[in-house]
Structure 1
Amino acid sequence: MQANTTNAPVATQNAYGKGVMFCVAATVLMGIMFPVMTDALTHVDPFTFTSLRYLIAGTFFLALLIAKEGKGAWRADGESLALAWLLGSVGFCGFGSFVFLGQQLAGPEGALTASIMMATQPMMGLLLNSLVRKTLPPVVTLLFILMSFAGVSLVVTKGDIVAALHEPQHYSANALILVGALCWVIYTFSAAHFKRWSALKYTTLTLWLGLTTIVGLNGVLVALHVVPMPSAAEVWAIAPHLLYMGPIAGFVAILFWNMGNRILTPLNGVLFMDVLPVTTFVLSSLTGVVPARAQIAGASMTGLALIFNNLYLRRRARRLAAAR
């Protein structure tokens, strides 16, 4: 008994350390994703790239699912495959198409905008949760949400709102990125409905079901000549980008994120979303896209809003528990 008592804190500390490493690694890998896409989108359209990316990532997830849960893991086990298809379409097709199309329209600085909007996803989740439950968030949380989106506006406008209002492309590009980020929030938020599925099974099955929408949409757009059929030279040009976006950002990052959140819990894991825009900003600077001071200030505002709101919700939860 004495040995178990002595080792328990060490084991807990080791698990916490692993959770931190998984979450940090995941958000760093996700942050690198947007500068990588800046170059990739100069060769192909976002729809074709999304199809190829998730076909690669999906193959890795499928292999892991079969290895861990067996061939019977494809069974629905009483869950709705129609709902899984809808959520996979919203999460993977919606996120990939809207975010990367918006990033392409925004040009070289689209990576900065996309990354900072990803950091607002926890705030979007709070709003979505309140909408579903028909209850308003606490007033303090609402203020932090406003602070978060004020930070986003600084990144998007570089602090010059008047100039941004006279550039219509800002509206369409930023709206698309925002909708794409919301798609991923809805997808993540809805995972709780699939209680009989593991996190790995939910990810794998929704990804493959969503791929029918991704590839189908891509095929329709090519057939209608909205986007061109990529040439062999263009596919070869994006091969290095796919090597990162498929196995690493599409598979390893998501796997690490799920493992880290399982250890730390989402309340703690969500704080690491702050690492994502920092990574993007640093890498973009190294590639020649240097953020303006207003953009750095805006990213800091969004990050602080996320951290302060997390701390506030923890204290509020403790007070409510003590009152009960």
Structure 2
Amino acid sequence: MKAKAWIFLILANLFWAGNLIFGKAVTTDFPPIWASFLRWAIASVVLIPMAQLLEKPNWLKIWRNNWGLILFLSIVGVMFYTLLTYTALQHTSSTNGSLINSLTPAVMILLSLLFLKDKISVLQGVGLILSFLGVLTVLSKGHLLGVFSTHYNLGDGILLIAVFLWAIYSIISKKAQQLPPITFVAFTAFIDVICMFPLLFIQPLQTVHITAIGITGVIYLGLFPSIGSFLFWNQGIKILGPGKASITMNLMPVFTAILSVLTGQVLLVSQIVGGVIVIVGMLLSANIFAGSGKSVTKRVAKRYAGIQGKEQPSSH
């Protein structure tokens, strides 16, 4: 079960890497509001009938019982996160976007420790540090100190806000684990479309600037990051928890480098080395959770709490 969860999370990040590549291209043809609206409109058209066919949900009952949670996650993790990401990509590069997104695991683990009372083992921490060093190796082309001399701009600041929103979404979405997964994503996508529609008039669409690449990019965004990534990510969180799942986000810059090669860029040795470091760090952390033993912090917490014969949950 956990092995399947790690596969889901890896695929989610692969599709999100494509989101940075295609998103950069799409925002040259479509304003950010339109890019976000069209992305989730396409996703809604696919997800709603898919949910009805496979899960046969009682839409009204689910909404009545969970409307507050669904609305919050739709606005924070879908509407604002997507809109901020595409706005940022108009001012910064996909590489800078990958670097800032690599901060997500640290933010999620920090928030999980503060609000979910999650526990972190020593080896999980080592794996997280290794993965982050691998990310820096990929993005700095082997010159780690070069990260401190990187030029940051308005887009980087916007992406940093988006990282915090995504961390909040991932933590709170744990509370939606009782909902059918496809139905849940369909709800959030549809609500985003409704909320974004009035905003379309703020950034009028210039049809003269639309190209075949832009249209292809929007279709990709609507299918893979919107449907594939969200379904895989939510399932991974349901099984592993947000803190553990966040480790795989360090793979996104590696996938971004690979996709860049496929679009004609040269793959550097530093990117290969950094990718290996990222994967080793992720597997190290994954191996800890796959084992039957308890983390160091769990054992200490159990000893001092006086709990006998019962395992403490890692998240709520």
TM-score under structure 2 length normalisation: 0.73
Unaligned stretches of 5+ residues in structure 2: 304-308, 310-316
C-alpha deviation, 1:69, in angstroms? 4.0
Match of residue 252, structure 1, among 228, 247, 258: 228
Aligned counterpart in structure 1 of residue 156 of structure 2, from 161, 165, 174: 174
SS at match of 2:89: helix
Q: 1:23–1:84: structure 2 CA closer, same or farther, 3 Å change rule? A: closer
Cα separation, partners in 2 of 1:150 and 1:21, compared to 1, 3 Å? closer
After superposition, the Cα gap between the structure-2 partners of 1:295 and 1:173, relative to the gap in structure 1 and judged at 3 Å, is: farther
Residue 36 of structure 1 contacts residue 241 of structure 1 at CA under 8 Å; is this kept in 2?
A: yes
CA distance change for structure 1 residues 191 and 66 in 2, over 3 Å: closer, same or farther? same
Is the 2:173–2:234 contact (alpha carbons within 8 Å) kept by the matching residues of 1? no
Q: Aligned residue pairs: how many?
A: 298
Measure, in 1, the Cα distance between the counterparts of 2:148 and 2:287: 34
Q: Which has the higher helix share?
A: 1
Is the Cα contact below 8 Å between 1:53 and 1:250 reproduced in 2? yes
- Residue 44 of structure 2 is matched in structure 1 by 58
- Give yes or no for contact 1:122–1:306 (8 Å, CA) kept in 2: no
Does the C-alpha gap of structure 1 residues 290 and 215 become closer, same or farther in structure 2, counting only changes over 3 Å? farther
Aligned to 1:242: 218
Q: In the superposition, relative to structure 1, how do residues 242 and 64 fare at CA in structure 2: closer, same or farther (>3 Å)?
A: same
1:280 counterpart residue number: 256
1:54 positional shift: 0.8
1:28 counterpart = 2:14: yes
Q: In 1, Cα distance between the equivalents of 2:92 and 2:187?
A: 32
1:144, distance to aligned residue in structure 2 (A): 5.2
- SS for the counterpart of 1:41 is helix
Is residue 100–residue 177 contact of structure 1 (8 Å, CA) maintained in 2? no
Give CA deviations for 1:47-84 in whole Å, capped at 9, x if unaligned: 32111111111221111222234463243465342342
Structure 1, unaligned runs of 5 or more: 1-14, 223-227
1:82 correspondence with 2:64: no
Residue of 157, 163, 179 corresponding to 1:197: 179
**Which residue of structure 2 aligns with residue 3 of structure 1?**
none
| Equivalences for residues 84-233 of structure 1 within 5 A | 84-107=70-93, 110=94, 112-115=95-98, 117-118=100-101, 120-133=103-116, 137=120, 141=124, 145=128, 148-153=131-136, 155=138, 157-158=140-141, 159=143, 161=145, 165=149, 167=151, 170-194=152-176, 196-220=178-202, 222=203, 228-233=204-209
- Match in the other structure for 1:5: none
Which stretch of structure 1 is more off in the superposition, 44-53 or 287-296?
Answer: 287-296
Matched residues, percent identical?
Answer: 18
CA contact (8 A) 2:85 2:159 kept: yes
In structure 2, C-alpha distance between the alignment counterparts of 1:274 and 1:160, rounded to whole Å: 16
CA drift of 1:154 comes to: 5.0
Any idea what SS the aligned residue of 2:210 has? Answer: helix
* 2:75–2:192 contact (8 Å) kept in structure 1: yes
Which segment drifts farther, 273-282 or 115-124? 115-124
Look up the equivalent residue of 1:38 and give its one-letter code. K
Find the aligned partners of 2:119 and 2:230 in 1 and give their Cα distance: 31
Aligned to 2:294: 317
Q: Is the 8 A contact 1:77 1:196 kept in 2?
A: no
Distance 1:131 1:296, change over 3 A: farther
Say which of 49, 58, 79 aligns to 1:72: 58
**Alpha-carbon distance in structure 2 between the residues aligned to 1:163 and 1:95:** 25
Kept after mapping to 2: 8 A contact 1:120/1:302:
no
What is the distance in 2 between the residues matched to 1:18 and 1:306? 15
Conservation of the 8 A alpha-carbon contact between 2:138 and 2:270? yes
| 1:116–1:299 Cα contact (<8 Å) kept | no
Name the CA shift for 1:166/1:219 in 2 (closer, same or farther; >3 Å): same
